[in-house]
Chain A
Amino acid sequence: MRLPGLRTYFVAVTGSGVLAAILVVAQASALSQLIAAGVSGRLDRGALVATAVVIALRAAHHAAQGVLAARAAANVKAGLRERLLAAVSDRGPGWLAGQRAGELATLVGRGVDALDNYLIGYLPTLVLGVTVPVAVLARLAFGDRTSALVITLTLPLIPIFAILVGWHTRTRTERQWRLLSRLGGHFLDMLSGMSTLRAFGRARAQIDVVRGMAEKYRGATMATLRVAFLSALVLELVATVSVALVAVPVGLRLLDGRVTLPVALLVLLLAPEAYAPLRAAGAQFHASQEGLAAATDAFALLESSEPGRQARVARVTARVPDPGAVELVFDRVTAGYGDSPVLCEASFTVPAGERVALVGPSGAGKSTVLALLLGFIEPEHGRILAGGVDLSTVDLAAWRARLAWVPQRPHLFAASVLDNIRLGAPDASVEAVETAARAAQAHGFVGALPDGYATVLGERGYGLSSGQRQRLALARAYLRGDASLLLFDEPTARLDSASEAAVLAAAATLARDRTALLVAHRPALVATADRILWVAGGTVREETAGDGGGTLVADRTLIRVEGSGAA
């Protein structure tokens, strides 16, 4: 485990474990003296004071250990969380698109929290599992060698049996876990699909299925546990039987005076202590595994470096061209997410200041064209040139600063409407935000929200309809005054006809004197374009629809003219 701060914590825990072992032995020694005297009716004041002092010391040690563990766990987790999110952001949206955001959120949330079991519970107990038996055996070696021998011989049985039983049951347990996870997820699945079941009149009929699956889950879990708890049974038996193995012979040796009562009591008090931490570690092992699994996932994420990104940093040489003032050229670009490229050798040109509509069936690569221009992904082959400069050699942040983007599904951040709009310009004044919102046809509905521009949005905040989200995203774009290239991904897809017209008017104003690429399905949007690019079958074809989109709408037919840079 290479967690930041873990090494220091481990050293501290080891020191604390040694101290704990010494205190365990000291308490048993003092207590056995005290009680041995008490059996014969004497009060050994020295032993009494010693016992009290050791008990107080153990309490103080307990407090210190608890504070230490809580501090270390909290700090390690916070550090890990920060590094994880930074690593994920570093890889960028192109990489994230291929991941399940929900799983990553679970990893940084619950997954990292599961480390508590390992850091606070398992690790210190494991250390005690070494230090306490050593201390106990060392003390008994000076008191009663026979008992020390018995403990020495039986103690290794605990890890050996634990490993043997674990080994024997592993395949069976693993097979069970998959079944368990499916059975366990059934309830959530049924609740998620409740409205579908209602629509088919199956909601009530499924009550018995839910009951049946819950019972099956119980049966399968119990089958797993019967095996899993076997190791606990063995450990418990080894420990308790060993205590009996020590206590009975010691009693018999007392009979003929080969040991004294204080020593015999010491053996009785110390013998169970030798086994206790190992058993506790065994009990906490499973709980700690979840945290370790999360840690493994986290390290996989942190360690596998992103070569493309580092290469990019090394490549950045060119000054950033003004994207709206130069010609954009896709030169035989092959690109996509994962293994199968979406675009294949696509070539086209967008002159400065032109409004271009990207049309074509879904999945054909329209959004991929935008993702390339946004720098989310890079071409596998081919180049994208902005005013003759290869896009892969420009500083991405500076390039993006000149783009305005309205995505298909804008994300609502858990922040106020105001901060959501001024995402790219945190210092923008309230007036500027309102102006942008008016231009994006958003001012009206924002005013109707419970707290107006101060309304908090997001998953746990106020939800907005798709059309409203879209208009907030448009307002975001408006607020980027110096953006010269507009990238719109179906900005009116979810708007009603009235707001569509309004948004289109607003978008047209925004696009004035700027280059714009619009992914479009709706005719009204296509009609605003100077030129249409057909994206299909991995290639991009340039087409001119006569006199802009107007002809397109009137004739409901296409006039196909070969574009200048057609593939």
Chain B
Amino acid sequence: MSASSGTAPSGTRAAGLRIVGGSAVRTLVLAALLSAATDLSGLGLLATATWLISRAAQRPPIVALTVAIVAVRALAIGKGTLRYLERLAGHDAALRVLARLRTRVYAKLSRDAGRLPRGDLLARLVSDVDSVQDLLLRCAIPAAVAGVVTVVTVGFTAAFSGPAALLLAAGLLTAGLALPALAFRLADRAAARIAEVRGRYLAASVDVLAGAADLAVFGATGSALAGAAGQATALARLERRAGAVGAATGAVGALIPGATAIGVFAVTVRGGPSVMVAVLSLLALAAVEAVLPLTGAAVRYAELRGAWRRIRPLLAADSPAPPDPAPAPLPAPLAGDGADRDGAARDGAARGGADRGGADEGGADRGGADRDGADVGSRRVADAPVPAIAARRIEVRYPGVAVPALSGIDLDLSPGRRVAVVGPSGAGKSTLLGVLVGQLRPTAGRLLVDGVTLTSPRSGVADSPTEPDGLGWPRSGGVLADGYVFHASVRENLTLGRTGFDDPALGRALTDAGLPDWAGRLDDLIGEDGATLSGGQRQRLLLARALLDPPPVLVLDEPTEGLDPAAADAVLADVLRVTAGHTVVMVTHRLVDLRAFDEIVVLVDGRIAQRGGHDALLARPGWYSTWTGIREVPDSAIGSGVGR
């Protein structure tokens, strides 16, 4: 890559390549060398053929030409073959870099404390990473090749004529450095504006498409279409202008090879009759033509630079774990606050090593004889200690919201306890689950595990399927509101790469979750985020995933949403049977038959309004007795109505 430094603005690229790693850089250098060799064979072919013809015109004995004849043929075949190898090597190198980048970006995000990008921004991140391929194939390698071509052709010319070499160098630098720099500057400004207007056009077209119903009913389709057309016209205007600028620089570029060739001809012809007049002139023409594509590369670089800038922070060396152990003022997602697992573990050790020892002991003696008996229908529960969890005066505030999402929450989850969380939408039910699994950091209050206060956030990197993560956090999880269905087989969606589950185990999990038919379709592919699934199927698949190896503390956010009442009741009964012995916290909107739960917690506006068993709550006036059963009125009425 050393050659590239002289021919293009490549400082950031060089830095990026260091990040990307050694083996990929070696393949890249190989690709650049092959590419340079291809170009040089082409130039050599032209120079040799020119020499052959010009010399032949002087009618020498044929022996004088044999070497040239062989060289022409060899270079002709060599160029074609080299071109093939060069393209393969270039793509291989780019894909190697892409593989490394994807791994690094994923690894970085998997332990990043920040919010995960979503939707639009996530798609942009992925395309940003992918665009590195283009950056290498269309910008970096051509720049390196241009450097090699410049050095070799100027050196060759200098051996015959100093002034011609100077002229050639001037032509090459103009075409390979000055013009690309100019094109870059012009395109950089235009690219930013075009990207902005294109974004506005896309927003307008999404409004027309996704908001079609609203527009139609409110009679605003026409004006929305006109707005989108206006943005498209503005975009076209910018594209036309950028095209004109590009054509102008292209025209200047088209002048340079000819001008250089004429200049080289003019200085060499003064030296009297010589074959080299022809060779050097035509070589100059072809060499300058060979570096002209750099203008296009510079334009491309201007377009890709934004992408590269956006992903560079993700490639930076991991920063050390933030030292602040105090609860953050805002409920930032905790996952992976530590930059890496060791760093997070160090924090934990520094703050409460002794406590953690206690926690481990607490975990070790949790097994009760009665639970072993209850475990018949469950899977693997014996492997996992079920800890006692207690929440004390938990409060969660979201940024910029005056009213806390949760406040004063006390909750006791002794091993094996079943708690249902009910209440109106927006009461903080999902937030409570987020706190229990360590996705959200409470802004006040304490969480205790086996009597020990958790002082450090849950590390998002705890990967051991059976052990706590070293910070005292119990293994917890289940069906969460943001559960994702992968574009993969049913099997992969259930196991998430966890090993040790045979087909019958997977089948049981599916059956328990109300998807018995799927047991025979383990290797069927599921669409992106479950696009081919109905809402109910999606929810049941997420439930099956949670039931496959239920963690000691299982949280379920509306696991039966989208199911008809009868199916929902059956699935719920199965879930409770299978998870006997586990601590279960379930958020539900269905207020029917919650007798199976040890405690029902009614959340209203972030506070616990009522709590107790089903019968006790029903006997007291309050939210629960007012609303239980009512929610189901339509469903139950339909049930009877259909049977009529």
Contacts and interface: CB of A to CB of B under 8 A. Distances in A.
A193 interface: yes
A59 B465 contact: no
Contact of A58 (B116, B211, B254): B254
Interface string B531-550: 10011000000000100000
Given A34-B265, A191-B109, A233-B83, A376 B213 contact: yes
A273 to B, nearest CB: 12
B83 to A, nearest CB: 5
Contacts of B109: 191, 194
Contacts of A261: 53-54, 57
B638 A361 contact: yes
Interface stretch (A83-91, A149-157, A162-170, A378-386): A83-91
B110 A194 contact: yes
A565 B493 CA distance: 49
A222 B92 contact: yes
Interface stretch (B94-102, B357-365, B501-509, B574-582): B94-102
B424 A536 contact: no
A189 B242 CA distance: 35
B238 to A, nearest CB: 8
Contact of A424 (B119, B120, B220, B250): B220
A210 B80 CA distance: 36
Given A203-B460, A239-B80, A523-B630, 18 more contacts: A56-B255, A77-B239, A81-B232, A88-B208, A189-B528, A191-B106, A195-B116, A196-B480, A204-B463, A210-B103, A233-B80, A247-B53, A248-B52, A424-B219, A459-B119, A536-B641, A556-B633, A560-B641
A39 B54 contact: yes
A403 interface: yes
A38 B269 contact: yes
Contact of A218 (B96, B210, B258): B96
A475 to B, nearest CB: 12
B453 interface: no
Interface stretch (A103-111, A292-300, A435-443, A503-511): A103-111
B235 to A, nearest CB: 7
B480 A66 contact: no
Nearest to A362: B562
A154 to B, nearest CB: 12
B430 interface: no
Given A59-B254, A63-B250, A218-B98, A189 B486 contact: yes
A330 B476 CA distance: 51
B371 interface: no
Interface residues of A, number: 163
Contacts of B88: 222, 225-226, 229
Contacts of A187: 102, 106, 126, 129
A221 interface: yes
15 contacts: A39-B277, A40-B273, A52-B258, A74-B239, A77-B239, A88-B212, A89-B224, A195-B116, A196-B480, A248-B52, A251-B56, A261-B57, A362-B562, A374-B213, A556-B629
B72 A247 contact: yes
B: interface residue count bin: 35 or more
Contacts of B224: 89, 413
B65 interface: yes
Contacts of B46: 268, 272
A62 B254 contact: yes
A193 B496 CA distance: 10
A287 to B, nearest CB: 11
B76 A244 contact: yes
A269 B637 CA distance: 89
B162 interface: no
A1 interface: no
A233 B278 contact: no
Nearest to B465: A201
B392 interface: no
B300 interface: no
A384 to B, nearest CB: 16
Interface string B389-416: 0000000000000000000000000000
A55 B288 CA distance: 14
The 7 closest A-B CB pairs, nearest first, are: A70-B243, A66-B247, A424-B218, A55-B258, A411-B211, A214-B99, A41-B273
B205 A81 contact: yes
Interface stretch (A131-139, A305-313, A317-325, A488-496): A488-496
Contacts of A78: 229, 232-233, 235-236
A285 interface: no
A74 B122 contact: no
B375 interface: no
Residue among B50, B76, B272 with the most chain A CB within 10 A? B76
B269 A240 contact: no
Contacts of B258: 27, 51-52, 55, 58
A526 interface: yes
Contact of B265 (A38, A64, A215): A38
Contacts of A182: 487
Contacts of B237: 74
A89 B631 contact: no
A51 B261 CA distance: 10
Contacts of B346: none
